[in-house]
Structure 1
Amino acid sequence: MKTRDVISLISRIRQKVNGFIVSELSHSGIDGIVVSHGDIIYALFQNQKMTMAEIADKISKDKSTVTALINKLVRLGYVTKERDTGDSRVVYVTLTSNGYELKPIFEAISHKVLEVFYLNISQEEKEELIRILSKIDQNL
């Protein structure tokens, strides 16, 4: 398989997974959230209070992109922003109660994604895929 074919395949898989996630969110009654919003919310499930810079680093997006994504999450009522009292340049982001209510939905969708992702894939193939993807991740 040629390099461009591999890149095209990876891109198609990513698009399909993202479409599946957005569709599942919509079926759960959650509209207006894209996968990048989910990355932020998931990071906040793990760390209750994070700076914008920490979130940008965690989800591998630039700060301006994260700011726009978080501002939409604020408008949707899933997160709040608060300036640091000692340094007004630092902005903390936390989940609201509405944001925390998304956790079981996100977990269920993650489970469904993995079920579909590994459908017709043996345990050996799964382990080999994870091993290879881990190597690629380390290479990059």
Structure 2
Amino acid sequence: METRDVISLISKIREKVNRFIVQEMVKQGLEGIGTSHGDIIYALLQKPRLTMAEISARINKDKSTVTALVDKLVRLGMVTKEREKEDSRFVYVALTGKGRELETVFEAISADMLEQFYLNVTEQEKEALLGILIKINNNF
């Protein structure tokens, strides 16, 4: 493998991580939920009420994609949508009780994923990797 292959390798790692996460969610009975749905739930676990625009910015997806993702989570009973009373252009999304119950599941999946991700990687290598990826990300 050559240094020019790094983007392809990052893409393959991303696919494997997403597959791992989806498989773990299925094991927990969360079939039909993709990693993008998980991103929304995670964002709402951090801040309990967000606008669609805030979710879009946090998960780096366009608003139409976020709308479709949120609508599915509404159908699954994991989130609610509510229009702002003073300005109906704003739609707020919040977790339901069922959605909040996913916090421990998400934490466990995240811990398992990180354990697998960093298997055989030293703390020094983790720090170096993070620093390099931050530099590359800032290039764009």
Question: What is the aligned partner in structure 2 of residue 31 from structure 1?
Answer: 31
In the superposition, relative to structure 1, how do residues 109 and 71 fare at CA in structure 2: closer, same or farther (>3 Å)?
A: same
2:133 partner SS: helix
1-structure distance, mates of 2:98, 2:115: 27
What CA deviation, in whole Å up to 9, does each residue of 1:28-55 have, x standing for no partner? 1111110000110000001110000010
After superposition, the C-alpha distances for 1:54-88 in whole angstroms (9 at most, x for unaligned) are 10011110000000000000001100000000111
C-alpha distance in structure 1 between counterparts of 2:91 and 2:67, whole Å:
10
Q: Please state whether the residue corresponding to 1:30 is helix, strand or coil.
A: coil
Matched pairs, number: 139
Which residue is equivalent to 2:122?
Answer: 122
Look up the match of 2:8. 8
- 1:110 matches 2:110: yes
The residue that corresponds to 2:50 in the other structure is 50
Alpha-carbon distance between aligned partners in 2 of 1:94 and 1:137, rounded to the nearest angstrom: 30
Q: What is the CA RMSD across the aligned residues, in angstroms? A: 0.9
Separation in 2, partners of 1:139, 1:97: 41
Structure 1 gap segments, 5+ residues each = none
Q: Return the letter of the residue paired with 1:90.
A: F
Q: What is the distance in 2 between the residues matched to 1:34 and 1:12?
A: 17
Q: Which residue of 2 aligns with 1:77?
A: 77
Q: CA deviation at 1:137?
A: 2.0
* Identity score, percent: 62
TM-score, length-normalised on structure 1?
0.96
Per-residue CA shift, 1:66-119, capped at 9, x if unaligned? 000000000011000000001111100000000000000000101011100000
CA deviation profile, 1:11-44 (whole Å, cap 9, x unmatched): 1100000000000001111111100001100000
CA distance in 1, matches of 2:67, 2:44: 15
Range moving further from structure 2, 48-57 or 5-14 = 5-14
Report 1:86-97 matches (<5 A). 86-97=86-97
User: Equivalents in 1 of 2:116, 2:98: separation in Å?
Assistant: 28
Q: Secondary structure at the match of 1:120?
A: coil
